[in-house]
C-alpha cells in the first residue's frame, strides 16, 4: 500500500485552503511586510491586562488547560446575561464552525450561504460532504430575504449569515436580523457569525432569546480584543445545542495561556472601548486615503474597510499584487462584483501611513503598464 486508504470524499476535495497566510507570503517574498493589514488582525494589540496574564500564566504552560474552560465560560455567561450552559468555547470561530458542521451536516445535506461570504465555512461544509447553495449579494450586502427563500427551497440544514459582513464590512440592523431569526424555515439551523460585532454601531446587535433552538451566535477574541494568535472563540446557543458540542469537541483544545489571556481581555472593557475608538478613527483615515487616490470606501461596521477600485476583479487583483510587491499585505473579495474592491484592515497611524505612501505608487504602476500594452 503506497498511501493510506483515504475516503473518496477527501480524495475528491481540491487541494486548496481558504486563505494563504501572511507568513507564507513573506516566505515567498523573502522579506517581512511593512504594513500587515490584510488578515483583519488588530494592530492596536491586546489589553495590557491580557499581556500580563499571558506572562503570568506562561510558566504553567506545561499543564493542559481546563477542559471545561470554567472561569472563562462563567465570565462570558455573566457578560452576556446567560448561563454557562448557553456558552461553548473553542479554537476560534473557525474551530467552532467545523464542529457545528460536523454535528449537523451529513454527506449530501444542503447548506445555504452567500456567494463570496466567509470561505472557511464553505471549506468545512465541503470537508463533511455538504452541498452548498450560494445566494448573491445585493448592493454589497448579504441578502436576508433571498437567503431565507433559498433555505426554504432546498430544505437547508444550515443557513450561514455574517453580520457585520466579511469581506464587505456592510451590515444590517438588529431589527432585520431579529426578523430573519423569526423567519428561519422549520428544520433549518441558523449560524449568526458576529466576529465583528464589537466594531459595529449601536443598534446592530440583535436581541435573541438564548433558548431559541434554531440559532447560534458566534463571537471571537481575535478581532478587537487583539488575541488572534491565541485562537479563542465562543458561541451562544440553547443549552441542548451547546451540550452536543461536548460529544465531538477536543476537550483539551483550549490552552491554559489562551484561556487566561481571553479572561483578562474580557475583564478590561475600558481597553475594548479605546480600541473601538481607534478603529473608528482608522476607518476615517482609510476613507481619506481612498478618496485621495480616486477610490471609494464602502461604509463599514467592522475593523476593516472595502475600497472600491471602480474597475473589476482583474484590476483589483493587480492592485493587491502591486501592494504586496511594496510589502503591504491586503486582500480582496473572491466573487464578482465584490471582487472589484480591496479589503484593508484598520491599524495605527504609522502603519496606515505606509499604505498611504504605497497606494499611489501601486496605482501608477498599474496605469503605466496598462498604457504600455
Structure-block grid coordinates of residue 235: 458561541
Pairing assessment for the beta strands 215-220 and 296-297 based on DSSP bridges: unpaired
Q: What is the dihedral of CA 153, 115, 130, 302, to 10 degrees?
A: -110
Q: In which band, very low, low, confident or very high, does the pLDDT at 372 lie, cut at 50, 70 and 90?
A: low
pLDDT in tens, 194-208: 999 999 999 999 999
Distance of alpha carbon 74 from alpha carbon 363, whole angstroms: 50
Distance of alpha carbon 223 from alpha carbon 199, whole angstroms: 9
Calculate mean pLDDT across residues 183-189.
Answer: 98
With a threshold of 0.85, does the pTM exceed it? yes
Distance of alpha carbon 277 from alpha carbon 107, whole angstroms: 45
Residue 371 clears pLDDT 80, i.e. is over it: no
pLDDT at 373: 62
pLDDT at 368: 87
Hey, CA dihedral for 189, 193, 198, 202, is it positive or negative?
A: negative
Distance of alpha carbon 293 from alpha carbon 305, whole angstroms: 15
DSSP structure string for 318-337: HHHHHHHHTTEE-B--SSTT
Exposure string over 288-322, b if 16+ CB within 10 A, otherwise e = ebbeeeebebbebbbbbbbbbbeeebebbebbbeb
Distance of alpha carbon 370 from alpha carbon 340, whole angstroms: 17
Bridge partners (DSSP) listed for residue 218: 193, 235
pLDDT in tens, 162-179: 999 999 999 999 999 999
pLDDT at 20: 87
Give the chain's domains with CATH numbers: 22-45+270-368 (3.90.1150.10), 48-267 (3.40.640.10)
Distance of alpha carbon 373 from alpha carbon 351, whole angstroms: 34
Q: In which band, very low, low, confident or very high, does the pLDDT at 252 lie, cut at 50, 70 and 90?
A: very high
pLDDT in tens, 211-236: 999 999 999 999 999 999 999 999 99
Looking at the chain, the whole-number percentage of residues with pLDDT higher than 70 is 99
Structure-block grid coordinates of residue 163: 453580520
pLDDT in tens, 1-40: 688 999 999 999 988 878 889 999 999 889 999 999 999 9
Find the range with the poorest average confidence among 14-28, 266-280, 353-367: 14-28
pLDDT in tens, 94-139: 999 999 999 999 999 999 999 999 999 999 999 999 999 999 999 9
Q: Phi and psi at residue 134, in whole multiples of 5°?
A: -110, 135
Amino acid at each position: 500500500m503506497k498511501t493510506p486508504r483515504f475516503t473518496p470524499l477527501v480524495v475528491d476535495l481540491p487541494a486548496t485552503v481558504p486563505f494563504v497566510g501572511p507568513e507564507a507570503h513573506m516566505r515567498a517574498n523573502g522579506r517581512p511586510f511593512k504594513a500587515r493589514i490584510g488578515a483583519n488582525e488588530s494592530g492596536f494589540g491586546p489589553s495590557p491586562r491580557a499581556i500580563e496574564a499571558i506572562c503570568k500564566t506562561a510558566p504553567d504552560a506545561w499543564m493542559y488547560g481546563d477542559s471545561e474552560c470554567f472561569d472563562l465560560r462563567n465570565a462570558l455567561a455573566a457578560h452576556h446575561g446567560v448561563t454557562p450552559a448557553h456558552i461553548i468555547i473553542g479554537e476560534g470561530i473557525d474551530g467552532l464552525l467545523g464542529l457545528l458542521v460536523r454535528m449537523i451536516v451529513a454527506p449530501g445535506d444542503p447548506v445555504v450561504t452567500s456567494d463570496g461570504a466567509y470561505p472557511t465555512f464553505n471549506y468545512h461544509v465541503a470537508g463533511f460532504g455538504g452541498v452548498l447553495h450560494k445566494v448573491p449579494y445585493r448592493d454589497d450586502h448579504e441578502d436576508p430575504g433571498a437567503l431565507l427563500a433559498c433555505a426554504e427551497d432546498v430544505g437547508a440544514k444550515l443557513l450561514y449569515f455574517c453580520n457585520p459582513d466579511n469581506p464587505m464590512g456592510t451590515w444590517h440592523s438588529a431589527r432585520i436580523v431579529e426578523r430573519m431569526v423569526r423567519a428561519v424555515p422549520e428544520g433549518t439551523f441558523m449560524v449568526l457569525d458576529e466576529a465583528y460585532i464589537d466594531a459595529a454601531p449601536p443598534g446592530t446587535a440583535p436581541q435573541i432569546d438564548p433558548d431559541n433552538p434554531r440559532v447560534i451566535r458566534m463571537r471571537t477574541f481575535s478581532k478587537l480584543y487583539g488575541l488572534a494568535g491565541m485562537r479563542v472563540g465562543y458561541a451562544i446557543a440553547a443549552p441542548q445545542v451547546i451540550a452536543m458540542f461536548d460529544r465531538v469537541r477536543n476537550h483539551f483544545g483550549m490552552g491554559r495561556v489562551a484561556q487566561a489571556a481571553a479572561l483578562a481581555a474580557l475583564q478590561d472593557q475600558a481597553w475594548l472601548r479605546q480600541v473601538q475608538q481607534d478603529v473608528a478613527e482608522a476607518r476615517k483615515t482609510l476613507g481619506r486615503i481612498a478618496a485621495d487616490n480616486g477610490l471609494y470606501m464602502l461604509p463599514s461596521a467592522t475593523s476593516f474597510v472595502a475600497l472600491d477600485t471602480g474597475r473589476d476583479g482583474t484590476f483589483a487583483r493587480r492592485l493587491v499584487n502591486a501592494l504586496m510587491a511594496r510589502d503591504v499585505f491586503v486582500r480582496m473579495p473572491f466573487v464578482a462584483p465584490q471582487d472589484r474592491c480591496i479589503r484593508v484592515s484598520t491599524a495605527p497611524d504609522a502603519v496606515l501611513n505606509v499604505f498611504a505612501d504605497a497606494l499611489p505608487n501601486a496605482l501608477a504602476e498599474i496605469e503605466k503598464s496598462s498604457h504600455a500594452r
